[in-house]
């Protein structure tokens, strides 16, 4: 079968109606859920984007590579010699593509925006790439197709700088009157498309993206990728930019919810999924295509722009009753909406199995009959039967990363102490990071809200969970893995 992983950005489990949302309706995603496996305890490897994406593609916990949120001008984080899930599909004869958000760095050293951006996705297993380099709120605000900036006019080269202003395009600090949405200081650098961003840029006018058009542009690239590869199976990592900030959905979604742009961006996400499914139907591929829908980290309301996400949230709970959200060590940081859809090939059900996105790698290896190399996918567990709803016992233990590290063993959850200062930009947000000087221990069985810290009451469990974490930190967890 073809395999598509739809990876949304900053979408919470509670943001979808199939997980209980009532203030927004997501019929297209709900349809996949109703006819597939809907997971309730499936996790990204981290509470932020870059580390989660690193883990998804490499089957490795992100700390093994020091993966943290990357600036928009970072070099490629995954070294070309690292085995990736895309590379595995490629070896199995699939055509592979990444379309959407990248945020794993480009190039060696400093990216050459006006030349060849290499190494990048094409050097780590993708046959085709059409990406935005980092995040919607970071410069350069251009698409990259394969090895170069898309639609760049060579007479109008791009300059990017994350430390000081370059060129004479106004910044949000200088010209707040030009903005469609106000932003905090970090997001008040160069203005592009009436939105100020993190970082400074100038040049590349013909290549600049228009925020409202991004989902349709991605879909058109998906359409041509699929049509180009008629006859051969494909693996598509479809990495949506919704619902990350700045949220500027297409005007057709304006007012689709009473929650402002954040709610409307959820509706746009659902539309994108619907369009993709219709494309698969049109091309007669739906029955032979596995579609996974999930997200990279938990939900956040105010992430730098005054877009009224907080003011208009009403009783909507993006964290679906769990504590925390994006950046947080608590459950909602990594507990992701996760749907496995394979028309006609799985028994629709809800699964409470514990699962991590690092497991997709080894699980698809099983599908492909690919025997993992000694140095491949160090933390990935083969859970194909769980993914497809043929088994209910998922992982027994799991690591998740925020700034600190957390481990699960069954329903027990341990959050390691954090004794360094919280980054200043995070400190002044109203975000429950879960970072505390002392360790925390919860029993999610009867305390899914992580309200009662049992660290004093359960010294034995404390020791056991601490040891579990030490063990994970000291080496790969996949049986059979050998470093070479
Ligand atoms: C943070 C940004 C935030 C967002 C995040 C990455 C500031 C103050 N905040 O540093 O806006 O871009 O990085 O989000 O700079 S993620 O989903 O890609 O991890
Ligand atoms: Ca994200």
pLDDT for residue 14: 98
CA–CA gap between residue 66 and residue 173 (Å, rounded): 33
Nearest CA-CA partner of 291 in 362, 234, 334, 219: 234
Check pocket membership of 137 for ligand 1, CB cut-off 6 A. yes
CA–CA gap between residue 242 and residue 220 (Å, rounded): 16
Cα(303) to centroid(ligand 1), Å: 7
Longest CA pairwise span in the chain (Å): 68
Inter-residue contact 308 to 22 (CB < 8 Å)? no
Nearest ligand 1 atom to the CA of 297 is 17
Each of the 484 residues of the chain gets a pLDDT tens digit; together they read 999 999 999 999 999 999 999 999 999 999 999 999 999 999 999 999 999 999 999 999 999 999 889 999 999 999 999 999 999 999 999 999 999 999 999 999 999 999 999 999 999 999 999 999 999 999 999 999 999 999 999 999 999 999 999 999 999 999 999 999 999 999 999 999 999 999 999 999 999 999 999 999 999 999 999 999 888 999 999 999 999 999 999 999 999 999 999 999 999 999 999 999 999 999 999 999 999 999 999 999 999 999 999 999 999 999 999 999 999 999 999 999 999 999 999 999 999 999 999 999 999 999 999 999 999 999 999 999 999 999 999 999 999 999 999 999 999 999 999 999 888 888 767 789 999 999 999 999 999 999 999 999 999 999 999 999 999 999 999 988 987 6
From 69, 297, 301, mutation site for ligand 1 pocket: most ligand atoms within 8 A of C-beta: 69
pLDDT for residue 67: 87
pLDDT for residue 484: 63
pLDDT for residue 479: 87
pLDDT for residue 46: 98
Check pocket membership of 135 for ligand 1, CB cut-off 6 A. yes
Taking the whole predicted model, whether its pTM rises above 0.85 is answered as: yes
Ligand 1: residue whose CA is nearest its atom 5: 69
CA–CA gap between residue 192 and residue 208 (Å, rounded): 8
pLDDT for residue 140: 98
Check pocket membership of 303 for ligand 1, CB cut-off 6 A. yes
pLDDT for residue 111: 95
Nearest CA-CA partner of 104 in 301, 245, 13, 239: 239
Check pocket membership of 186 for ligand 1, CB cut-off 6 A. yes
Residue 192: what are its φ and ψ, rounded to 5°?
Answer: -130, 135
């Amino acid at each position: 079968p073809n395999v598509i992983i739809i990876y949304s950005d900053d979408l919470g489990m509670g943001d979808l109606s199939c997980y209980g949302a009532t203030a927004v309706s997501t019929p297209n995603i709900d349809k996949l859920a109703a006819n597939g496996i809907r997971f309730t305890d499936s996790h990204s490897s981290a509470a932020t984007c870059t580390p989660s994406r690193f883990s998804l593609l490499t089957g490795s916990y992100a700390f093994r590579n020091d993966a943290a949120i990357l600036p928009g001008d970072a070099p490629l984080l995954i070294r070309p010699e690292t085995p990736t899930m895309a590379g595995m599909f490629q070896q199995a004869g699939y055509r592979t593509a990444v379309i959407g958000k990248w945020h794993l760095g480009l190039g060696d050293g400093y990216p050459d925006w006006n030349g060849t951006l290499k190494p990048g996705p094409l050097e780590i297993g993708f046959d085709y790439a059409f990406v935005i380099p980092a995040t919607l709120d970071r410069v350069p605000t251009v698409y990259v197709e394969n090895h170069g900036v898309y639609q760049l006019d060579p007479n109008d080269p791009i300059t990017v700088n994350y430390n000081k202003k370059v060129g004479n395009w106004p910044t949000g600090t200088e010209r707040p009157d030009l903005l469609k949405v106000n932003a905090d200081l970090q997001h008040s650098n160069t203005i592009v498309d009436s939105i100020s961003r993190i970082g400074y840029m100038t040049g590349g006018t013909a290549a600049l993206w228009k925020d409202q058009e991004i989902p349709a542009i991605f879909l058109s690239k998906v359409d041509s990728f699929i049509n180009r590869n008629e006859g051969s199976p494909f693996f598509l990592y479809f990495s949506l930019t919704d619902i990350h900030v700045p949220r500027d959905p297409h005007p057709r979604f304006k007012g689709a919810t009473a929650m402002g742009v954040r709610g409307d961006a959820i509706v746009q996400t659902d539309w994108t999924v619907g369009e993709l499914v219709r494309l698969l139907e049109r091309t007669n591929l739906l029955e032979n295509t596995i579609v996974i829908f999930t997200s990279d980290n938990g939900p956040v309301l105010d992430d730098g722009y005054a877009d009224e996400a907080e003011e208009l949230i009403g009783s909507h709970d993006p964290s679906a009753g769990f504590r925390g959200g994006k950046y947080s060590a608590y459950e909602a940081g990594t507990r992701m909406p996760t749907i496995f859809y394979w028309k006609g090939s799985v028994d629709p059900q809800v699964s409470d199995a514990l699962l991590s996105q690092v497991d997709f790698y080894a699980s698809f290896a099983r599908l492909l009959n690919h025997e993992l190399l000694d140095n491949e996918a160090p933390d990935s567990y083969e859970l194909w039967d769980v993914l497809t709803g043929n088994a209910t016992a998922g992982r027994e233990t799991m690591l998740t990363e925020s700034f600190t590290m957390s481990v699960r063993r069954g329903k027990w959850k341990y959050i390691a102490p954090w004794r360094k200062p919280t980054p200043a930009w995070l400190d002044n947000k109203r975000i429950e990071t879960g970072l505390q000087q002392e360790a925390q221990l919860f029993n999610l069985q009867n305390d899914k809200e992580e309200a009662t810290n049992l660290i004093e009451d359960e010294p034995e469990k404390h020791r056991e969970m601490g040891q579990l974490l030490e063990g994970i930190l000291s080496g790969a967890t996949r049986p059979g893995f050998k470093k070479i």
